[in-house]
Amino acid sequence: MDTASVSSTDIRIERQAKQLSRQLKVLSEHLFPPHSQKSLRTFTSGEAAQLIGVSDGYLRQLSLDGKGPAPDVSSSGRRSYTLSQINELRHHLATSKPKDALSFLPHRQRGEKLQTIAVTNFKGGSAKTTTSLYLAQYLALSGYRVLAIDLDPQASLSAMLGVQPEFDLGDGDTLYGAIRYDDERKSLREIIRPTYFDGLHLVPGNLELMEFEHETPRALAERRAGKGEAFFQRVGTAIAEVESDYDIVVIDCPPQLGYLTLGAVCASTAMLITVHPQMVDVASMSQFLLMTSDLLAVVRKAGGDLSHDFIKYVVTRHEPFDGPQSQIVALLRSLFSDDVLTATILKSTAISDAGLSKQTLYEIERGQVRKTTYDRALESVNAANSEVLANIRKVWARK
Ligand SMILES: Nc1ncnc2c1ncn2[C@@H]1O[C@H](COP(=O)(O)OP(=O)(O)OP(=O)(O)O)[C@@H](O)[C@H]1O
Ligand SMILES: [Mg+2]
């Protein structure tokens, strides 16, 4: 027997990793069977009318006149719509009322550039994924064409959006497939997959993304010899291929300041920096900002485009009645003023509980949790998301 290998730490950790992974797989297959498909609930006619921006009575009349998609009607006469029917209605209304087309179907117009939003902070657990997910779903519900990119090898965003990274993905099925340095590179269009959420597409993530971190140092050396596209341009180039298909791209960054994150920051037109307002987190954020600015300066000198339309700090998991938290939020506002979103995302068991079953508050029905808890949490998320949308629309010079 090879005694060196028995005692060697790498072998031991590898064995434990395999044991753990096997058990996790069993557990996860039990909780989320590999072939289970996520689906989105339907929306009441009241919710549909609100999303579209018309009255419920008007929707009823459309359905009575046989115009637009036919909603599901329950035995008690309640109408409900799927999100894709809501989007069909948007198209129908935009065509039949061309003067108000943009208010029904807010897609990007000529001259309005694609908005790519990187959600970032190297502090783990600062709610990057939750913020990305809620923003992407909010924008899709509002009628925009949204692409969510999971740049985190841990792939929590993909899991939340119904892709199980251990079961559903093959080689090159993550963004890595479109930014890799070798000849296996493919178009991002081949990697993007629709989700159960109409109007929201996904570039999933998994461990394969780490390859980019490992390969970039070698590519940097080759680049000095004048070969290939710079690492920081690759994410942007991949997105540019599908630019015309989307209005907004949301990138969920990993909790590291690696090459992937730098690529996302260079590719983005705006940045959201999530902040959990606690002393330790804010202290590490100041490190994050210093390191980011150092690294970005290097990228800029190497020719990277680092202009952003807006950079906003988003306070998340906020407990407004906590004294120390309030001090930190006040500090951030006094230092960064308008760069801090006015709305904060409240810490809420409604959000964390929904997350346990891989859902958001947009997915669960109001009756499933205590109404006051649900309403308060959703209100705070909606307020933050609508502020981000207002900033996007400002870039497009829309009202
Ligand atoms: N507003 C909130 N209220 C309650 N729980 C929240 C809230 N936002 C996020 N969480 C919970 O906090 C945890 C961390 O959130 P999340 O995964 O979004 O952070 P992250 O920054 O993406 O983490 P990582 O750095 O590991 O990628 C999750 O369990 C999530 O459900
Ligand atoms: Mg995350």
Classify residue 268: in a domain, yes or no. Answer: yes
Task: Give 255 Cα–ligand 2 centroid separation in angstroms.
Answer: 7
Q: Are 361 and 351 in contact (CB under 8 A)?
A: yes
Q: How confident is the model at residue 10 (pLDDT cuts 50, 70, 90)?
A: confident
| For the CA of 380, the nearest atom of ligand 1 | 1
Q: Are residues 238 and 292 in the same domain?
A: yes
Given 59, 74, 104, the domain boundary residue is 104
Question: With left for phi above 0 and alpha for psi between -120 and 50, is residue 77 left, alpha or beta?
Answer: left
Q: Are residues 134 and 217 in the same domain?
A: yes
**In this predicted structure, what is the pLDDT of residue 35?**
62
Q: Are residues 51 and 153 in the same domain?
A: no
DSSP strands (E only) in the chain? 43-44, 72-73, 79-81, 115-120, 146-150, 193-194, 200-203, 248-252, 270-275, 310-315
- Best residue among 352, 357, 359, 364 to mutate for probing ligand 1, ranked by most atoms within 8 Å of CB: 352
Q: How confident is the model at residue 32 (pLDDT cuts 50, 70, 90)?
A: low
Residue 147 has pLDDT above 90, yes or no: yes
CB contact set of 277 (below 8 Å; sequence gap of 6+) = 315, 318, 325, 328, 329, 332
Largest CA distance in the chain: 81
**In this predicted structure, what is the pLDDT of residue 345?**
98
Name all residues whose Cβ lies below 6 A of ligand 1: 124-130, 152, 156, 255, 316-317, 345-348, 351-352, 355
Q: Are residues 217 and 335 in the same domain?
A: yes
Q: Are residues 145 and 287 in the same domain?
A: yes
Q: Are residues 124 and 87 in the same domain?
A: no
In the chain, the number of structural domains is 2
Question: What average pLDDT does this structure show over 97-120?
Answer: 95
- Best residue among 129, 130, 154, 316 to mutate for probing ligand 1, ranked by most atoms within 8 Å of CB: 130
Q: Give ion ligand 2 contacts, CB < 5 A.
A: 128-129, 156
| For the CA of 347, the nearest atom of ligand 1 | 3
Classify residue 54: in a domain, yes or no. Answer: yes
Q: Are 42 and 72 in contact (CB under 8 A)?
A: yes
Residue 88 has pLDDT above 90, yes or no: yes
Mean pLDDT (the chain) is: 91
**In this predicted structure, what is the pLDDT of residue 182?**
92
CATH of the domain at 204: 3.40.50.300
| Torsion angles phi and psi, residue 56, rounded to 5 | -60, -40
pTM over 0.85, yes/no = yes
pLDDT digits (tens, 9 = 90+) for 244-293: 999 999 999 999 999 999 999 999 999 999 999 998 888 888 888 888 88
Range(s) of the domain holding residue 87: 43-104
Q: Helix 45-52 to helix 56-64 angle, to the nearest 10 degrees?
A: 110
Task: Give 231 Cα–ligand 1 centroid separation in angstroms.
Answer: 29
Q: Which among 397, 330, 318, 326 is positioned nearest to 110, based on CA atoms? A: 397
Classify residue 110: in a domain, yes or no. Answer: no
Q: Could you give the percent of the chain with pLDDT greater than 90?
A: 72
Task: Give 152 Cα–ligand 1 centroid separation in angstroms.
Answer: 14
Task: Give 274 Cα–ligand 2 centroid separation in angstroms.
Answer: 11
Q: Are residues 66 and 213 in the same domain?
A: no
Q: Are residues 98 and 129 in the same domain?
A: no
Task: Give 286 Cα–ligand 2 centroid separation in angstroms.
Answer: 19
Distance in angstroms (rounded) separating the CA atoms of residues 319 and 334: 19
Residue 313 has pLDDT above 70, yes or no: yes
Classify residue 5: in a domain, yes or no. Answer: no
The total of other beta-carbon atoms located within 10 Å of residue 359's CB is 18
Distance in angstroms (rounded) separating the CA atoms of residues 188 and 83: 25
Residue 220 has pLDDT above 90, yes or no: no
Residue 4 has pLDDT above 60, yes or no: no
Distance in angstroms (rounded) separating the CA atoms of residues 324 and 224: 49
Distance in angstroms (rounded) separating the CA atoms of residues 114 and 105: 16
Given 74, 104, 134, the domain boundary residue is 104
Q: Are residues 320 and 362 in the same domain?
A: yes
pLDDT digits (tens, 9 = 90+) for 38-84: 889 999 999 999 999 999 999 999 988 988 899 999 999 899 999 99
Q: Are residues 314 and 180 in the same domain?
A: yes
Classify residue 33: in a domain, yes or no. Answer: no
Classify residue 361: in a domain, yes or no. Answer: yes
CA-only gyration radius of the chain, Å: 23
Range name among 3-12, 41-50, 120-129 with the lowest pLDDT average: 3-12
**In this predicted structure, what is the pLDDT of residue 192?**
98
Q: Are residues 95 and 133 in the same domain?
A: no
Q: How confident is the model at residue 37 (pLDDT cuts 50, 70, 90)?
A: confident
Classify residue 25: in a domain, yes or no. Answer: no
Please give the residue that has the higher pLDDT: either 190 or 368: 190
Q: Which among 291, 254, 247, 120 is positioned nearest to 175, based on CA atoms? A: 254
pLDDT digits (tens, 9 = 90+) for 326-369: 999 999 999 999 999 999 999 999 999 999 889 999 999 877 78
Distance in angstroms (rounded) separating the CA atoms of residues 391 and 311: 10
Classify residue 53: in a domain, yes or no. Answer: yes
Task: Give 355 Cα–ligand 1 centroid separation in angstroms.
Answer: 9
Given 104, 132, 155, the domain boundary residue is 104
* Token couple for 1: 């027997």
Residue 109 has pLDDT above 60, yes or no: yes
Q: Are residues 142 and 98 in the same domain?
A: no
Q: Which among 307, 326, 323, 324 is positioned nearest to 315, based on CA atoms? A: 326
Q: Which among 386, 399, 374, 308 is positioned nearest to 342, based on CA atoms? A: 386
Residue 5 has pLDDT above 60, yes or no: no
Q: How confident is the model at residue 95 (pLDDT cuts 50, 70, 90)?
A: very high
